Structure 1
Amino acid sequence: WEWHHVMPLLAEHFSVVAMDLRGAGFSDCPLDGYDKATMARDAHEVMVALGHERYVVCGHDIGGMVALPQAAIYREAVTHLAVLDVPLPGWTGWETTTARLWHFSFHMNRDLPERLIHGREYDYVSTFMAERFYDHSTFDPADIAIYAKAMALPGRTRGGMEWYRSLAADHAAALEYKKQPLEIPVLGLGGDQRFGAQMVPMLKEFATNVTGGSIARCSHYVADERPDEVAAALIDFLKTN
């Protein structure tokens, strides 16, 4: 749902596929497989099943953590990579940055987040997201309700927490990806109030052809706060490269 403002703008130029990751929304919530390489395999298999043997990958937040290994593992398939506002496992600033993000350590606790969030999904999602918006005029309660209802589906809170519980393994895997830098065009974008200034130097640790920067007056949820700017940046990136 996060891409519902951006997708119509991109669809004027490209075929667009948005999927719920393993553990989220209407996708399955298996007991394991939440390491980002396995989730990247999920996404790659979806694209192949839809007939796209070569494709562009764009991911925000956890989706960005999936997009990077997808590009690193499926090099013959992924033609371009875009990563939006997320600290990436394998980055030299990973430990110091994530140590300052309270929700990383909270979500890693086994069973505790699920117990505390159960029945309070709207309260948790609305508070969590409000903390990461800069322009609160774009904070739509109807969208928050959709996210909260998805989180309240059976197993989905646990699925979302499992994304964080695999991060130590993801970090180790990403250090291996850095040994063979990506040569495809890579775009790094982020809100100027969040990770925007870090996205390009961060991605240059993994790839040789990186462009991008910050989106002004924007925090973490770039596709919600500034969909026009995100779509324009993606279109320009893909048409230029």
Structure 2
Amino acid sequence: MTSAPPVRDLPDLLLHDLEGFTHRWVDADGVRLHAVEGGRPDGPVVVLLAGFPQTWWAWRGVMTRLAGRCRVIALDLPGQGHSERPEGSYDTHTVAARVDAAVRALDVSDYWLAGHDVGAWVAFSLALGFADRLHGVALLDAGIPGITLPDAVPTDPDRAWKTWHFAFHLVPDLPEVLLAGREREYVGWFLEAKSHSPGTFDDAELDHYAAAVAAEGGLRASLAYYRHAAESARRNHEALDRRHVRVPVLGISSSHGSIPDMAASLRPWADDVTGVVVPDAGHFIPDEQPDAVAAALARFVLGG
């Protein structure tokens, strides 16, 4: 295994431990990425990617439920959690190459991949560029640039609150001015407003995710995924002009999420798409319904 030293420049960001899992830092094309690994060593490998404004910790409930049957690896994306916050492009094909390099550094030759929100953006691009490494990819409630992201932000108040931030994050400089020092309020709005069940996130979780965004380079990196979304969309379609997604795709939607039917939105771009809708959940499906998500992933990976 190619390893890298832990990131030491985030002293105020709590490093959560999860029973049965180990923290790793690996070199991914020159960028240090944080991975949390555990489960059954000889089981199929499942790699999990979280989205905005979260970290790997969003998957903890799913991780423990899959650990008895799978080798589970949750990664912090570049700029997220305890991973490095590099300068340069955050288009999802560049990030996907780094994610796959991190998985290689963990001595994994082939794997299943699941991503939520921005993690699903990266997972979709990775499925286009690294199909020979993947058995399948699960994509959870995500407006993927150029794919499932609507062409325009809706103006109907009943829908606009779900996607308004895509435009806001693109504005140069203004988000930084308005959000610096207010990360707790901003992150808290997303986690509370987009969860179907009140109280899904406690104060400690809100504090953790806000601290990850507030840590040096965190806000810049979080916004960069959105600011490079047009390049992500361009590169997605450049790849799709050559071939569709060839690996099996599972679209996971929720009863009160942002994208009503992930599977239907993905079928024009992939050859083998199935879908599931998780009841009683908003956007943050892994946190709100970890049993249902783990069960859906287990069926996808293990069959039955």
Question: What is the rounded CA distance, in whole Å, between the counterparts of 2:122 and 2:97 in structure 1?
Answer: 9
- Equivalent residues of 1:81, 1:186 under 8 A apart: yes
Q: Which moved more, 1:137-146 or 1:26-35?
A: 137-146
What value does the CA root-mean-square deviation take over the aligned residues? 1.7
- Equivalent residues of 1:90, 1:174 under 8 A apart: yes
The aligned runs of 1:1-241 (5 Å cut-off) are: 1-91=57-147, 94-96=150-152, 100=160, 101-179=163-241, 180-195=243-258, 197-240=260-303
Question: What is the rounded CA distance, in whole Å, between the counterparts of 1:141 and 1:95 in structure 2?
Answer: 35
Q: Which moved more, 1:164-173 or 1:98-107?
A: 98-107
How far apart are residue 147 of structure 1 and its match? 0.4
What is the TM-score normalised by the length of structure 1? 0.94
- Equivalent residues of 2:246, 2:270 under 8 A apart: yes
Deviation string for 1:146-182 (max 9, x for gaps)?
1011111111011100010001111111222333112
Aligned length: 241
AA paired with 1:24?
Q
Q: Which moved more, 1:114-123 or 1:151-160?
A: 114-123
Question: What is the rounded CA distance, in whole Å, between the counterparts of 1:118 and 1:67 in structure 2?
Answer: 29
AA paired with 2:263?
V
Distance 1:3 1:92, change over 3 A: closer
AA paired with 1:47?
V
How far apart are residue 90 of structure 1 and its match? 2.2
- Equivalent residues of 1:189, 1:196 under 8 A apart: no
Q: Which moved more, 1:88-97 or 1:147-156?
A: 88-97
What is the TM-score normalised by the length of structure 2? 0.75
- Equivalent residues of 1:9, 1:231 under 8 A apart: yes
- Equivalent residues of 1:64, 1:84 under 8 A apart: yes
Q: Which moved more, 1:196-205 or 1:92-101?
A: 92-101
Distance 1:95 1:196, change over 3 A: closer
Question: What is the rounded CA distance, in whole Å, between the counterparts of 2:202 and 2:274 in structure 1?
Answer: 31
Is the strand fraction higher in 1 or 2? 2
Question: What is the rounded CA distance, in whole Å, between the counterparts of 2:148 and 2:272 in structure 1?
Answer: 19
- Which 4+ runs in 1 deviate beyond 6 A? none
How far apart are residue 98 of structure 1 and its match? 7.3
Is the helix fraction higher in 1 or 2? 1
Question: What is the rounded CA distance, in whole Å, between the counterparts of 1:59 and 1:78 in structure 2?
Answer: 13
Question: What is the rounded CA distance, in whole Å, between the counterparts of 2:129 and 2:177 in structure 1?
Answer: 36
Distance 1:82 1:218, change over 3 A: same
Deviation string for 1:31-90 (max 9, x for gaps)?
212000011011100110101111111100000000011111011101110000001222
Unaligned runs of 5+ in 1: none
AA paired with 1:25?
G
- Equivalent residues of 1:181, 1:208 under 8 A apart: yes
Overall identity of the aligned pairs, in %: 35
- Equivalent residues of 2:266, 2:273 under 8 A apart: yes
